[in-house]
Amino acid sequence: QAFFCLLFCIPWGSSCPRSCQCTERAGAKAVLCSSRHLEEIPKDIPRDVVLLKLDANSITRIPSNAFRHLSRLEEIDLSRNAIEKIDRAAFKGVAAGLRTLDLSSNRIRSIPKEALLALNAKLRLANNPWHCECALQEVLWEARLDPDSVQDITCHTAPREEYVGKPLLQVLDAGVNFCSVRQRTMDVAVFVTMFGWFAMVIVYVICYVRHNQEDACKHRDYLKPLPSTQAQAE
């Protein structure tokens, strides 16, 4: 046990975040911040960290460039937090080297596809209150999801009540395409908008014609009482 502690728990550097523990094994440095009541990602994480554990905290958001300076980072564990928002550039700078990203058991309802699709990491997204939509479908199709947890990506809310409570993969296997639903919705919106503009043009033309007709009638009525040139000559 003493040897194990020496091997895995050797402290390194003086730049370790105050609320975390920093260790090193075979040259691979780890920052362990599990269950430390953190509400945000620490700012002073050493640049040469390889493993970063931030699980079981109270983090609510992953801001842009949160890990950009961690060029050697290979694994991030953000499971069992209270994450609700992930910015589009949250993982900018670590996309190429990251191998594992655990976002399971948070409060994530939706996520910008740009935040994940650039990653080569294996993703764990299970046990979140997902809103099943096109962006989530694209993530499921294009990202590298952990096969052991993909069945636990469940529709907490969805465009139709019959999908609620079902695994997203099961819904998609049944032939549902959330992206085509969105496209049809957009097409309808464009059609309604164009119809509205067309109706406004028609109304304007009708009003313009009627206005001109009224002006012509008024002008004709004005000329009727006037004596003609021929009558004045007589």
Summary mean pLDDT of the chain: 83
Whether the per-residue pLDDT at 218 is higher than 70: the answer is no
Q: Of the candidates 81, 77, 69, which has an alpha carbon nearest to the alpha carbon of residue 38?
A: 81
Query: Which range has the worst mean pLDDT, 30-39, 90-99, 220-229?
Result: 220-229
pLDDT at residue 180, rounded to an integer: 87
Pairing state between β 122-124 and 100-102: parallel
Average pLDDT over residues 88-113: 95
Q: Which contiguous run of DSSP H or E holds residue 55?
A: none
CA distance 22 to 15: 9
Whether the per-residue pLDDT at 222 is higher than 80: the answer is no
Average pLDDT over residues 80-97: 95
What pTM, to 2 d.p., does this model score? 0.72
Give the phi and the psi of residue 101 in degrees, each rounded to 5. -135, 115
Give long-range contacts, CB 8 A cutoff, 24+ apart: 61-65: 61/85, 61/86, 61/87, 62/86, 62/87, 62/90, 62/91, 63/87, 63/90, 64/88, 64/89, 64/90, 64/92, 65/89, 65/90, 65/92, 65/93
Q: Please report which confidence band the pLDDT of residue 196 belongs to, taking 50, 70 and 90 as the band edges.
A: low
**Which class for 136: exposed (0-12), middle (13-18), buried (19 or more C-beta within 10 A)?**
buried
Q: What percent of the chain has pLDDT over 70?
A: 73
Q: Of the candidates 133, 89, 88, which has an alpha carbon nearest to the alpha carbon of residue 109?
A: 133
Whether the per-residue pLDDT at 201 is higher than 80: the answer is no
pLDDT at residue 190, rounded to an integer: 47
Mind listing the pLDDT tens digit for each residue in 44-70? 999 999 999 999 999 999 999 999 999
pLDDT at residue 206, rounded to an integer: 74
pLDDT at residue 7, rounded to an integer: 37
State whether the Cα torsion 181-146-106-153 is positive or negative: positive
Residue type, 31: V
Higher pLDDT, 202 or 77: 77
Q: Please report which confidence band the pLDDT of residue 199 belongs to, taking 50, 70 and 90 as the band edges.
A: low
State whether the Cα torsion 35-165-161-112 is positive or negative: positive
